[in-house]
């Protein structure tokens, strides 16, 4: 099953770590966790805090232990098709979380949600459009959707849900452009 995933982090430095993770399944259900930092995670950027609005004190007081969050992720997400809007950053933070919990960092893998969304639309359009027109139709759909895109909320669940909503819109538009399917009987 397809899952849209997002992390928020302590900063964008080399020593940054995840502070929140959220994911949304293709059926629209989601889950999010504030992450209590591992003892060796000390990096903190007040500019990042101003963006996501989560303080280190809030993580210490209300966050779930990083090992518990990592185990939960592996338990429910392993074997599913995970995607993120920034897979290099989200992958870095996911690896940091898994390593800190003594779990193999390649237990979960991410793909770029833009690629996943384009693939879904291409699959819908392919039976109805010749190769030369297929990419033009796909580009039209993606460009129109990019114009609708809102800035990220910088909260993990809402940003993951934003990617899910984009996937839903693109699929709906591709289905509309493909028109009624020919009767194959």
Q: What is the pLDDT of residue 159?
A: 96
Average pLDDT of the segment spanning 10-14? 96
Cα radius of gyration rounded to whole Å, the chain: 19
Q: What is the pLDDT of residue 149?
A: 64
Strand partners, 5: 23
On the question of pLDDT at 116 being above 80, the answer is yes
Per residue, the 3-state secondary structure of the chain, as one string, reads: CEEEEEEEECCCCCCCCEEEEEEEECCCCEEEEEEECCCCCCCCCHHHHHHHCCCHHHHHHHCEEHHHHHHHHHHHHCCCEEEECCHHHHHHHHHHHHHHCCCCCCCCCEEEHHHHHHHHHHHHHCCCCCHHHHHHHHHHHHHHHHHHCCCCCCCHHHHHHHHHHHHHHHHHHHHHHHCCCCCCC
Q: In whole numbers, what is the pLDDT of the chain averaged over residues?
A: 93
User: What is the Cα–Cα distance from 125 to 44, expressed in whole angstroms?
Assistant: 46
Q: What is the pLDDT of residue 183?
A: 34
Ordered strands of the 64-65 beta sheet = 64-65, 30-36, 18-25, 2-9, 81-84, 110-112
The domains found in the chain, sorted by start residue, are: 2-112 (3.30.420.10), 113-178 (no CATH)
Joined together, the tokens standing for residue 180 give: 């009624």
Joined together, the tokens standing for residue 6 give: 């997002």
User: What is the Cα–Cα distance from 81 to 109, expressed in whole angstroms?
Assistant: 8
pLDDT tens, position by position, 33-58: 999 999 999 999 999 999 999 999 99
On the question of pLDDT at 148 being above 90, the answer is no
Average pLDDT of the segment spanning 75-91? 97
pTM of the model: 0.91
User: What is the Cα–Cα distance from 66 to 81, expressed in whole angstroms?
Assistant: 22
């Amino acid at each position: 099953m397809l899952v849209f995933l997002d992390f928020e982090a302590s900063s964008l430095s080399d020593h940054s770590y995840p502070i929140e993770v959220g994911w949304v399944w293709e059926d629209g259900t989601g889950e999010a966790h504030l992450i209590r930092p591992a003892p060796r995670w000390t990096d903190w950027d007040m500019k990042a805090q101003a963006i996501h609005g989560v303080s280190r004190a809030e993580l210490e007081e209300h966050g779930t232990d990083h090992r518990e969050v990592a185990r939960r992720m592996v338990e429910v997400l392993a074997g599913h098709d995970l995607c993120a809007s920034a897979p290099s950053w989200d992958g870095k933070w996911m690896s940091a979380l898994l390593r800190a919990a003594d779990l193999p960092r390649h237990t979960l893998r991410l793909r770029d949600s833009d690629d996943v969304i384009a693939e879904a639309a291409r699959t819908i359009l392919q039976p109805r459009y010749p190769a030369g027109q297929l990419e033009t139709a796909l580009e039209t759909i993606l460009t129109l959707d990019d114009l609708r895109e809102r800035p990220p909320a910088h909260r993990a669940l809402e940003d993951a849900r934003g990617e899910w909503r984009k996937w839903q819109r693109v699929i709906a538009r591709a289905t509309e452009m493909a028109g009624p399917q020919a009767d194959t009987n």
